[in-house]
Amino acid sequence: MNLLEVKSISKTYGSGEAAVQALKNVSFSVPRGEFVAVVGESGSGKSTLLNMIGALDVPDSGKVLIDGRDTFSMKESSLTVFRRRNIGFIFQAFNLIPELTVEQNIIFPVLLDYHKPDGKYLEDLLGVLNLKERRKHLPGQLSGGQQQRVAIGRALITRPALILADEPTGNLDSQNSSEVITLLKETSKKYEQTVIMITHNRSIAHTADRVLQVSDGVLTDLGRCSE
């Protein structure tokens, strides 16, 4: 069963001679638990596509269905709750709250939903992320790789069905990049989550289950790449 279905998404920014077609009739689907990399040059439309999937932007036409739910048919209040509970975001810039500890940053999305964190699941996550010894540290006391692991934990804590990662290794060296990608793959399989990852790094992309390419707003499925 497909967790994600993108149907004929188009998006144009600007008008007249200044108009830019960021996405042109893009369609694809992703089964539950698959790890997909999206590659493309700067300005190709891949970040716009991720924003559409995450309901952070609205297309001119087309639909996005997550677990059978049409995100763009929801009212804004319902969409906000749906996004918080069903989509985990991982950004290149980490976006951690500097005044909060590792543990507090990870559980923050749960608290936003007025829920109590699942202690057992939190301990499991901290173990998988190798952050148990750092749980009381502030972001400023962590390396870049450790901060990205905190960001991954924050994305996973609500047990979302879909993880969207925008250049998650962009600010990391090669060793930390490799560790983060390995971690994303492991958590995807462990928690049966679908991952859509944008990357400009072809070597990283080919560690995914499947690679999609966006060029001038047009999407091409390059097929399966893992062994």
pTM of the complete model: 0.88
For the cut 50, the answer to whether the pLDDT of residue 227 exceeds it is no
Instruction: Determine which of 9-23, 110-124, 213-227 has the lowest per-residue pLDDT on average.
Output: 213-227
Instruction: State the pLDDT confidence band at 226, using cuts at 50, 70 and 90.
Output: very low
| Cross-strand pairs, 29 | 5
The predicted-structure confidence for 39-97, as pLDDT tens digits, reads as follows: 988 888 898 999 999 999 999 999 999 999 999 999 999 999 999 889 999 988 888 99
Q: Give me the pLDDT at residue 22, please.
A: 93
**Residue 12: pLDDT over 60:** yes
Top-confidence residue, 154 or 91: 154
Percentage above 70 pLDDT, the chain: 99
The structural domains of the chain, ordered by start, are 32-58+80-224 (3.40.50.300)
